[in-house]
Amino acid sequence: MRTNFKLELSKIISEFSLEILNMPSPAEKIFVSTPEINRPGLQMAGYFEFFDEKRIQIIGKSEESFLRRFAPEKAEQRLRDLFSRNPVAVVICRDLEVGEMYAQIAKEYGVPLLRSSESTSDFSAALIAFLSLHLAPRITRHGVLVEVYGEGILLLGESGVGKSETAIELIKRGHRLIADDAVEIRRVSNKSLVGTAPDNIRHFIELRGIGIINASRIFGAGAVKLTEKIDLVINMEPWDVNKAYDRMGLENQTTEILDLKIPSLTIPVKPGRNLAVIIEVAAMNSRQKKLGYNAAEDLLKRLGMTDDEQIGDATSKPVDPF
């Protein structure tokens, strides 16, 4: 797992339509390496003990009005103290008219100076989300990612178990494909993973006996999606008659990806099973559990089986393959 990703400043400028007030070198050669940002109010007051020059500095109305309280010479010195630390970039929000002093100091110290028309809070929130996505730790897993009833379902399993065929059936039933064969998974926060397809294989599916197809061309643009949060992992494996599969749904299985535990199920595959329907039901059941309803627990309560011993007996019965 790589964590040292970088993002060209030019992509940030393009994404947020930023006005360039000073650019010491081509924006494609200036890189941002952290999703964290900073509003340098403390720095303008003279406190630099924990200053991180890797963060983009955001100047809004509060910082600018604070600076105006000083005499021009002192205000200029405070700005020099900030820019002399060589932050990766400084962005002025709300289209504030800051005068030539900012641009001159930025040029002198070789610091990119940009301006946005957005409010400081809105721009900061959007920038953090954008950086968190593009700089997130990531890993590529062999599998299929589909959206089923609004749930991101990651299908894992050995090659040839039927993941792509199941994805095709789900697409025909109105659901959407995000990635086939290789799923690029990013940890965008401490609670969520987002999956997408590598650019060069996006929307393509491999079907044994047919070859490569383009799901977007065959089923339409509504059959595909660029990214999706991963809500449930389904491990598909050939049916093993000697293995006891969960029949009640009381066990809380998880699969760990990028140090996050994602709810998971193991679905045995055998001829005659309609996997697309099973996955649809799994997606709807996952949503019900998020809303606080567990059908297995409800059934056991109705049967009067509320203690742990009775529940354990119910879940330990041998598996009937039929």
Catalytic residue positions? 142, 163, 181, 247
Closest CA to 33 of 109, 132, 107: 132
Closest CA to 91 of 60, 122, 61, 63: 60
Q: Name the nearest CA neighbour of 184 among 120, 218, 227, 233.
A: 227
The residues that bridge with 92 in the sheet, in sequence order, are 59, 115
Residue 216: closest CA among 185, 176, 183: 176
Full DSSP string of 108-141: HHT--EEE-SS-HHHHHHHHHHHHHHHTS-EEEE
121-144: buried (b, 16+ CB within 10 Å) or exposed (e) per residue?
Answer: eebbeebeebbbbbbbbbeebebb
Q: Which residue has the tokens 């109010």?
A: 41
Give buried/exposed letters for 287-312 (b at 16+ CB in 10 A, else e): bebeeeeeebbeebeeeebeeeeebe
DSSP 3-state of 4? coil
Q: Which helix (H) or strand (E) holds 153?
A: strand 151-157
**Token digits of residue 135:** 């700089």
Q: Is 221 helix (H, G, I), strand (E, B) or coil?
A: helix
Write out the H or E segment, with its range, that includes residue 266.
Answer: strand 260-269
